[in-house]
Amino acid sequence: MADFLIAPSILSADFARLGEEVDNVLAAGADVVHFDVMDNHYVPNLTVGPLVCEALRKHGVTAPIDVHLMVKPVDRLVVDFAAAGASYISFHPEASEHVDRTIALIREHGCRPGLVLNPATPLNYLDHTLGKLDLVLVMSVNPGFGGQAFIPESLEKVRAIRERITAAGLQTRVEVDGGIKVANIRDVATAGADMFVAGSAIFGSGDYAATIAAMRKELAAAAGGAAAA
Ligand code: DX5
Ligand code: ZN
Q: Residue 77: what pLDDT?
A: 98
Please identify which of the residues 39, 66, 134, 177 carries the catalytic annotation: 177
Ligand 1 neighbours (beta carbon < 6 A): 9, 11-12, 34, 36, 68, 141, 143-144, 146-148, 177-180, 197-201
Whether 36 sits among the annotated catalytic residues: the reply is yes
Could you give the CA distance from residue 180 to residue 20 in angstroms, rounded to a whole number?
23
What is the model's pTM? Answer: 0.97
Mean pLDDT, residues 141-148: 98
Mean pLDDT, residues 122-128: 97
Backbone angles phi, psi at 120, to 5 degrees: -100, 10
Could you give the CA distance from residue 229 to residue 225 in angstroms, rounded to a whole number?
6
What spacing in Å lies between the alpha carbon of 36 and ligand 2's midpoint? Answer: 5
Q: In the chain, helix, strand, coil percent, each to 5?
A: 45, 20, 35
pLDDT digits (tens, 9 = 90+) for 28-67: 999 999 999 999 999 999 999 999 999 999 999 999 999 9
Query: How would residue 225 be classed by pLDDT, with cut points 50, 70 and 90?
Result: confident
Burial of 122 (0-12, 13-18, 19+ CB in 10 A): exposed
Instruction: Tell which one of 177, 200, 203, 215 to mutate to probe ligand 1, the residue whose CB is within 8 A of the most ligand atoms.
Output: 177
User: How does strand 135-139 pair with strand 112-117?
Assistant: parallel
Taken in order of first residue, the domains within the chain and their CATH numbers are 5-228 (3.20.20.70)
Mean pLDDT, residues 198-204: 98
Handedness of CA 148, 204, 194, 96 (dihedral sign): positive
Which percentage of the chain shows pLDDT scores above 90? 97
Within 8 A by CB and 6+ apart from 182, the residues are 201, 211, 214, 215, 218
Backbone angles phi, psi at 95, to 5 degrees: -95, -5
Mean pLDDT, residues 156-170: 98
Question: Which 3 state secondary structure label does DSSP give 7?
Answer: strand
> What is the phi-psi region of residue 172: left when phi exceeds 0, alpha when psi lies from -120 to 50, beta otherwise?
beta
Query: How would residue 1 be classed by pLDDT, with cut points 50, 70 and 90?
Result: very low
Atom from ligand 1 closest to the CA of residue 142: 6
Burial of 60 (0-12, 13-18, 19+ CB in 10 A): exposed
Query: How would residue 227 be classed by pLDDT, with cut points 50, 70 and 90?
Result: low
Say if residue 228's pLDDT is above 70: no
Q: Where are the alpha helices (DSSP H) in the chain?
A: 18-27, 50-59, 75-83, 99-108, 154-167, 185-191, 200-203, 208-228
Q: Of 98, 134, 133, 139, which is closest to residue 118 (Cα–Cα)? A: 139
Say if residue 229's pLDDT is above 80: no
